[in-house]
Structure formats: structure tokens, C-alpha cells
Amino acid sequence: MVYARKVSGRTLTFIVSGKLWRNSLVMQDRETGTLWSHVTGEALHGPLAGERLDMLSSVQTTWKQWVARHPDTRVLRKDARIRGSRYEAYARDPSQFGLFRSARAIRKLPGKSIVYGIVRAGEAVAIAAKALEDAGLVHLNVGDEAILVARGRDGGVRAFLRRAGGRELRFRREGADGRVRDEATGSTWDAETGRCLEGSLAGAALEEIAVRPAYWFAWVSFYPDSRVVERPPRPASN
């Protein structure tokens, strides 16, 4: 997750609190000692309780894909001896769900299913990874906003408000180059940046919003009423 770490004009510095809430990391700011959920950005306990950090969009991809698209990127210096995830066994084990048993039911999907979570205006939706497998695109409405979720050629999943030129848009995958075309104007868009490359909407850009990859069991412990998109809707039959 990426958050703007400024609250009411004050820049905060976060450390690892050593605490867990809903099986997830709790951050602590050094300035006030307040505890924050890294999943929701909410201050849970302490002087700033009730405040919320602004979540910024980010994406999971591979180093090769990222640097090819962003040759000017800056990278956190890393010890080259780190060559794997310490959570690999945990990630592979379908029966291990965090450290503590959750009181909430895990139905609808297997607990370790990967979902991409979006929350808008208090409404939560989890898009199952398999819903993005075929077309790589999912259209949905969350909290009254029309949203496009797209898997890029870099494997990353991003979400955009699918509105431009004063109208709501729907897209189709176009060829194998990662471009998409909107049905209303036939303009061509880059599904990784949200920019319109060609057509009457050329120059327009869809606003990217934050999407959170998560295990389903974790997502549902934060958002028990979350809707689930399990697979792309069937195309309308004639």
C-alpha cells in the first residue's frame, strides 16, 4: 500500500508497531504514537484516532516490467543477497490464514484466493483474480462510480474511473499489445496508464484509483459485506 503520510499539515513517520489487527500490519507514527491499520489507512487507537491517510495508487509487477516502462525510476537500495520471499511457504499453504483465527466467516471464495479490492464511498468490492484472466478487463460500479479494472501486459492490476469526454465508457481488449478500445468513440487507450492514445478522445486520461491485492480471507475480515466479482459477466446473447 502507498499512503500520503501527511495528516492535517503534519508529516508523520511510521514504524512497525509489533501489533496485529485483523491479522494485518499495524503501523505506529513516531510523532504521536497513534496506531494505524495499513490496510485501511485508518487511525485505530491513540491521539489521532479517527483520522485517515490518503491511499495512493500503486501496482505489483516485476522488476523487468517496471524498469522497461520507467527507465528513470528510483529504487530502494537492496542487499543483493535477498533473493526470495520469506513468506513463500506461507503463500503456498492454502490452509494457513494469518496468525489469529478470524471471527468472520470465509465463504464465497477459498481463503487464500487472490482478490483485488476497491472501496469507494463505503462500498467494497473484491474482484477475483480469475475474473481478470480472459479479457483482462472488468467493468463495474462501486459507490456510484463507473470503474474499469484492467490487468496490464506487465501483469499489474490497476483501476480507473471509466469516464471521459463527459460520458461513461466501456472497453474491449484490442489485439495483443495491451491496448483497449472504447465502444462509444472507438478511441484507443493504454490500459496501463489510462491515457487515450488515438481517436477523438486522444489526450484524455482516465483517473487511476487505488486497488488493493489481498487474500480473500484478509479482505473479508475488513470488509465482511464486500461484493465479489468472481468471473467476467457473460456477454449478452442475441
Partner 1 sequence: MRTRLVPAVPLAVLLLAPPPVAAAPSDPEVFAEVGGDPIYTVLAAGANPAILEPELVSGGEAAAQMLPEEPVLGAIVGGEARAYSLWQLDAHEIVNDTAGGVPIAVSW
**100/159 Cα distance (integer angstroms):** 31
Smallest separation (angstroms) from partner 1 to the CB of 166: 26
Residues 126, 219 contacting (CB under 8 angstroms): yes
Residue 144 Cβ vs partner 1, minimum distance, rounded to whole Å:
25
CB 1 within 8 A of CB 55: yes
Nearest to partner 1 of 100, 167 (CB atom): 100
- Looking at the Cβ atoms of 10 and 167, the one nearer to partner 1 is 10
Q: Taking the complex as a whole, how short is the minimal distance between the CB of residue 188 and partner 1, in angstroms?
A: 18
Measured from the CB atom, is 33 or 186 closer to partner 1?
33
Find the length of the chain: 238
- Between CA 221 and CA 226, with CA 223 as vertex, the angle to 5 degrees is 125
Residue 205 is which amino acid? A
Rounded-to-integer distance, Cα 118 and Cα 125, Å: 5
Tell me the closest approach of the beta carbon of residue 206 to partner 1, in angstroms.
Answer: 15
- Considering beta carbons, is residue 64 or 107 the nearer one to partner 1? 64
Cα 170 to Cα 30, 160, 210, distances in angstroms: 45, 12, 20
